[in-house]
Structure 1
Amino acid sequence: MGIRLKQLEDQVVVITGATSGIGLSTARMAADRGARLVVSARNENTLVRLVEELRQRGAEAVHAVADVGDPAQVHGIAETAFNHFGGFDTWINNAGASLYGYMLDVPLEDHRKLFETNFWGVVHGSLEAARYLSTRTAGHGGAIINLGSLVSDRAIPIQGMYSASKHAVKGFTDSLRVELEALGAPVSVTLVKPGSIATPYAEHAHNLLEQEPSLPPPLYEPSIVAKAILHCAVHPRRDIRAGGGSKAIAMLDYFAPRLTDRLMGGMMIDQQKSGRTEHRQSFALHEPGTEMRERGNYPHHVSKTSLYTEASMHPVITTTVIAGALLGLAALSRRRRF
């Protein structure tokens, strides 16, 4: 069944985890493109600041305080959308946190809390959105966009439970998509799989290591993911990767899983350690953040664009450009021979 989605300027968009990183970048970009916004996070003061900024950008925006691990609070996000805008068109499940440490050292309650946010938060938001969007009988459908990760395909060490949660998000999202299609519901369900994105992710992550955590290169700007997310809010997609590094690791694991295991057990562990002694006492897994920052601090180069992601969003144009370039090279080669 073909699903028609509204243009972004005609949409009401719900974003969880909207006050930091990818969520913040997406909220700002959506506001600049004319969408009306319902932004959610755990800290009300930060949400108030964000809504004020979005309104200064010319967008209509409201906020809903919610811990996505609580289904009642997630229902409150939907109620906010109904009360202010009469409903919503796209629901983006972005809220998430990570946890660095060897799994044998991590308390079980921390493992469970991470799953409450990363997995059950996606479940609560997706089901809330699906129940509403499935009722549409005419005109445009709606979109559910879930944030997975490159670790939805390939688990990594010292973020093992985070990897497990993103595997679970992929399984849930794929099953939900098939069920909604079988029911004939006009709902697009997309899984976004970013690579290493230079957000405050590592700074906010719960950490049981002696060193401050980091992210392995290659690193990409949060705006690359935001652009991919908003593309999927308008163009139905099964999944999309943000950053070519995500595709590269998935392919390496597919073709050489044992080699990938060895690389992960050595290089990947070292690349997730900053070399700086850990002094922090609080982490976002249990306490909401108060900063509004898209970017984190990393010593590595951060790519501002991803040709792979651009190509995946515009395959026809990309194929045409490549074909034209090849024809041009062929013509140049013939001229040189004569």
Structure 2
Amino acid sequence: MDVKLKPIQEQVMVITGASSGIGLVTAKMAACQGACVVLAARNEADLQRAVEEIRAAGGRAVYRVADVSDPDQVERIADTAVREFGRVDSWVNNAAVAIYGRVMEVELRDMRRQFDVIYWGQVHGSRTAVPHLKRQGGALINVASALADRAIPLQGNYCAAKHALKAFTDALRMELEEEGAPVAVTLVKPGSIDTPLFDKAKTCLGVEPQPVPPVYAPEVVAEAILHCAQHATRDIITGGMGKMLSIANDFPRLADKYMEKTTFESQQTDKPVGDRPNNLYEPVAHDGGERGSNWTGRTKSTSLYTKAALHPEVTALAAVGLGVVAVALLGRRVGGGESDARIVDGVGPGAEHKLPSAGQLSTP
């Protein structure tokens, strides 16, 4: 059935993992556009700070401290939304934690904890949200990763959790559609995003981890989330190189060899970790705000691929433009000249022969 979703200014939106990164940026953006927002995370100080900033800007927001690995605490997030704003129109499952290390070196206890947050946390959120969304219609948005489509080394368990989340989300979507439930179920798959996730990661590498370029701003993902909250969307990859990484599954062994040569080094900085805390089991003193500190390179503020994917009319115009560029390139090559055409967002003329980089790595 066609699910009718409200404009964002009429919505009550719940966002988990909202104390930093993608979740925090999404909450602020939604509130700025008029939504009533319920922020949830483990770090109360950062949640309180975020809500105060939203209210100071004229927005409406409340928070609920919760560890999403506990289903009872997730239920209390919904209770807060209903008590304060009367209902839930969109629910965004976004909480995540990161671990870096070879699969055989990461402790099993840590691997289980990561699954508890990334996979079970979103299962708990989905099972809590769906009964509320069924009442008047709404959107369930699960934030996975481009790594839900393609695994990379040093984040094997993270990739496994995101793969599991993708399967869960796909199955839930089909079941709800079959029964005619008025719930749009979306899987958002961010590429490499500049957030504090890396700064708080538990790592066995001895040095600080980092996202791998091209790196996008969390606003790129937040914009996609808010679009999906208003327009039923099956899934969306944010970041052009995220799409290329997904396409790498068509050439699995070639992609394996490429990643073996590039992604071990590219996920590591040269900064020692020292004894800094991580947030695998407990929140750190400060979740880090919207952007991370480990990444010091260029952060892309927009993704033409994502805009095109969300707006088919733009895709049509882009196709015409690429056709013009292709004709121009062909003319230059026939004439013996060198082409100086640029690849935009990792997708475009000349991009099809390139192997995907690990540019779409961890999410929030």
1:134 Cα deviation from its structure 2 partner: 1.9
1:264-279 paired onto structure 2 within 5 Å: 264-279=259-274
Q: Are 1:198 and 2:194 matched, yes or no?
A: yes
Q: Are 1:155 and 2:144 matched, yes or no?
A: no
1:322 Cα deviation from its structure 2 partner: 4.3
Contact 1:134 1:185 (C-alpha < 8 Å) held by counterparts: yes
1:1-338 paired onto structure 2 within 5 Å: 1-136=1-136, 141-254=137-250, 256-289=251-284, 290-297=286-293, 298-320=295-317, 322-323=319-320
Contact 2:31 2:37 (C-alpha < 8 Å) held by counterparts: yes
**What is the CA–CA distance in structure 1 between the aligned matches of 2:204 and 2:148, rounded to whole Å?**
22
1:299 Cα deviation from its structure 2 partner: 3.0
1:201 Cα deviation from its structure 2 partner: 1.5
Provide, for residues 250-302 of structure 1, a one-character-per-residue CA deviation record: whole Å limited to 9, x for no partner.
11222x10011112222111101102222133101112132351111313321
Contact 1:15 1:92 (C-alpha < 8 Å) held by counterparts: yes
**What is the CA–CA distance in structure 2 between the aligned matches of 1:27 and 1:292, rounded to whole Å?**
15
Query: Aligned to 2:186, what secondary structure does the other structure show?
Result: strand
**What is the CA–CA distance in structure 2 between the aligned matches of 1:170 and 1:164, rounded to whole Å?**
10
Contact 1:91 1:129 (C-alpha < 8 Å) held by counterparts: yes
Query: Aligned to 2:166, what secondary structure does the other structure show?
Result: helix
**What is the CA–CA distance in structure 2 between the aligned matches of 1:265 and 1:325, rounded to whole Å?**
32
Cα distance, 1:317–1:214 mapped onto 2, change above 3 Å: closer
1:148 Cα deviation from its structure 2 partner: 0.7
- For 1:249, the aligned partner's letter is L
Query: Unmatched 5+ residue regions in structure 1?
Result: 331-338
Query: Aligned to 2:290, what secondary structure does the other structure show?
Result: coil
Q: What is aligned with 1:335?
A: none
Query: Aligned to 2:282, what secondary structure does the other structure show?
Result: coil
Q: What is aligned with 1:333?
A: none
Query: Aligned to 1:262, what secondary structure does the other structure show?
Result: helix
- For 1:79, the aligned partner's letter is D
**What is the CA–CA distance in structure 1 between the aligned matches of 2:188 and 2:318, rounded to whole Å?**
25
Cα distance, 1:213–1:85 mapped onto 2, change above 3 Å: same
1:328 Cα deviation from its structure 2 partner: 11
1:133 Cα deviation from its structure 2 partner: 1.4
Structure 1 window deviating more from structure 2 (86-95 vs 258-267): it is 258-267
1:315 Cα deviation from its structure 2 partner: 0.8
Contact 1:24 1:292 (C-alpha < 8 Å) held by counterparts: no
**What is the CA–CA distance in structure 1 between the aligned matches of 2:322 and 2:104, rounded to whole Å?**
53
**What is the CA–CA distance in structure 2 between the aligned matches of 1:161 and 1:326, rounded to whole Å?**
41
**What is the CA–CA distance in structure 1 between the aligned matches of 2:233 and 2:126, rounded to whole Å?**
16
Q: Among the aligned pairs, what percent are the same residue?
A: 48
Query: Unmatched 5+ residue regions in structure 2?
Result: 328-364
**What is the CA–CA distance in structure 1 between the aligned matches of 2:282 and 2:321, rounded to whole Å?**
53
- For 2:278, the aligned partner's letter is F
Q: What is aligned with 2:354?
A: none
Contact 1:206 1:285 (C-alpha < 8 Å) held by counterparts: yes
Provide, for residues 229-265 of structure 1, a one-character-per-residue CA deviation record: whole Å limited to 9, x for no partner.
00000000000011001001111222x1001111222
Provide, for residues 299-318 of structure 1, a one-character-per-residue CA deviation record: whole Å limited to 9, x for no partner.
33211110000101111233
What TM-score, normalized to structure 1?
A: 0.93
Contact 1:244 1:306 (C-alpha < 8 Å) held by counterparts: yes
1:103 Cα deviation from its structure 2 partner: 1.3
1:43 Cα deviation from its structure 2 partner: 1.5
Query: Aligned to 2:26, what secondary structure does the other structure show?
Result: helix
Cα distance, 1:321–1:111 mapped onto 2, change above 3 Å: closer
Provide, for residues 115-150 of structure 1, a one-character-per-residue CA deviation record: whole Å limited to 9, x for no partner.
0000000000011111221233xxxx2000001101
Query: Aligned to 1:13, what secondary structure does the other structure show?
Result: strand
